[in-house]
Amino acid sequence: MRLCGQKIYLRLLTPDDVGDTYVAWMNDSEITQYLESRWAVHTKESIRAFVQAMCESPTNVLFGIFLRDTHKHIGNIKIGNINNIHRYADVGLIIGDKESWGKGIASEAITLATRYAFEELNLHKLIAGMYEPNLGSYKAFINAGYRDVGRYTRHFFYQGRYVDGLLVEKCRECREVES
């Protein structure tokens, strides 16, 4: 299964996709500075185990993000913690390839994953959260049609201080809340 966009496509990630480059992303402090996974040292075996667990999980879908022209694996996007009763899930992503930063790829990946979540998984709502200094992620979600719904004050410990957590969401059938 491939979800195709203009610059990228998404496909389900498998343990065979885990190589040295992926491991290097996960151990690069600049790439993982806003991820909770930054606290661990990652190995090919630990990442393969994570990807295998995602493949077997009934409540998570992990896609690799690949460039259409070269098929290069540049990141991942996950629809996670799927709640089939209330029909919502959260979205998280990493663009590990620094050369792909700032090119609209994250927004495109979010758009493709959102469409899949609404049309194939029959979800009603997707949510995401990020550290306030992570403006790239915040802008990517806003550009993909998510709306800002609030913040957790001084929620994350980042670079020796507490920073706010920003919250965004997108509903399949929601109307904008009128002020």
What does pLDDT average to over the chain?
94
Q: Is 11 exposed, middle or buried (0-12, 13-18, 19+ CB in 10 A)?
A: middle
Beta bridge partners, 67, equal 8
- Name the amino acid, one letter, at 105: I
Token pair recorded at residue 91: 């979205």
Pairing assessment for the beta strands 61-67 and 8-12 based on DSSP bridges? antiparallel
Binned at pLDDT 50, 70 and 90, residue 178 comes out as very low
Token pair recorded at residue 119: 């049309």
User: Per DSSP, which regions of 87-146 are E strands?
Assistant: 88-95, 125-131
Q: What is the pLDDT of residues 32-54, one digit of tens each?
A: 999 888 878 899 999 999 999 99
Q: How far apart are CA 146 and CA 114, in angstroms?
A: 10
State pTM to two decimals.
Answer: 0.93
Q: Which residue has the higher pLDDT, 175 or 112?
A: 112
- Ordered by where they begin, the domains of the chain are 2-122 (3.40.630.30)
Q: What is the pLDDT of residues 130-172, one digit of tens each?
A: 999 999 999 999 999 999 999 999 998 999 999 999 999 999 9
Binned at pLDDT 50, 70 and 90, residue 177 comes out as very low
Q: How far apart are CA 39 and CA 168, in angstroms?
A: 24
Residue-level pLDDT at 38: 80
Alpha carbon 82 to chain centroid distance? 14
135, 137, 10, 124: which is closest to 63 by C-alpha?
A: 10
Beta bridge partners, 165, equal 131, 152
Q: How far apart are CA 161 and CA 72, in angstroms?
A: 36
Binned at pLDDT 50, 70 and 90, residue 175 comes out as low
Q: What is the pLDDT of residues 115-141, one digit of tens each?
A: 999 999 999 999 999 999 999 999 999
Beta carbons within 8 Å of 161's beta carbon, 6+ residues apart = none
